[in-house]
Amino acid sequence: MQLLFIYQQDRIAQLGGLAVLNERAEKRFGTRTTERENAVIWSFPEIDRRVGVTWNDDSWTLWVECLSVSKQLRRIKAQHTVRKSTPPGLHVTHEQYGDKWPFTIPEGFVESIDKAIVFHTKDGKTYALNGIAIGKNRYLDIEPIWRPHPVYEGMKISVGPIIDAGIRTRTNGQKTAYSENSEQRPKRGDTRTSQSVSRKKLVAKLAEKRSRNRPEVSCPQHVRLPVSRRPTTPPQSDT
């Protein structure tokens, strides 16, 4: 958005007031396309531009912006808003677990962050589920939303199934070494990989060169070597 004119209260009074400024703008740009509270907008698709006038008690502003850029920015902002409103992790609900559901709220999202299992709610709160998450001291205590056991007084329903679900998401998210989509696979152009490959080639060439320079020794087959045997003496009697 580019600001063309900004008139303050004193200048507005000199030019005849807000009504006169708006009337001049309408004569210049034609019939208004959109009218809002304290704002009037004119759209010109043929030149990819949009002109607007906004005002309040202290100022009057005339601005212009590119329509395509404005639409792109609104689309990016909408995507960011959707991503921000949806918590990360696996979606778990009361309907999935039935009587084993350990929370007083109907749904949420479980996630593993560096082996810390946490539970996200739709209102943006994050609770610690396992000992690693509790030890980080950055997540809320699960006690306020922990559902009491319906049979045993003073006890809570186990959060073990939800923790297991978080561990499964962590396991499924990890990539095995040198798998098809693994990030650990050596990339083309990696200096460490190229050095190791060149070193292996050099070692192979040296081994081949040594084998070529080594003299060949022919050894006849089926050669029987003499075997030295110790003479055996008969045992002597004591008599």
Determine contact, residues 145/104, Cβ cutoff 8 Å: yes
pLDDT tens digit string along 38-49? 888 888 777 778
d(CA 205, CA 27): 85
Given CA atoms 196, 198, 199, 201 in this order, what sign does their dihedral have?
positive
Given CA atoms 96, 97, 103, 108 in this order, what sign does their dihedral have?
negative
Q: Is the pTM of this model over 0.75?
A: no
Question: Burial level of 30, CB count in 10 A (0-12/13-18/19+)?
Answer: exposed
Of 68, 30, 75, 24, the closest CA to residue 46 belongs to 68
Determine contact, residues 50/65, Cβ cutoff 8 Å: yes
Per-residue CA distances from 33 to 12, 45, 86, 206, 220 (Å): 24, 11, 35, 80, 104
pLDDT tens digit string along 188-227? 554 444 555 667 777 787 777 776 666 555 555 555 555 5
- Helix, strand, or coil here: 204? helix
- Per-residue pLDDT at 216: 53
The rounded Cα 205 to chain-centroid distance in angstroms is 45
pLDDT tens digit string along 116-126? 999 999 888 99
What residues have CB less than 8 Å from 71, skipping those under 6 apart? none
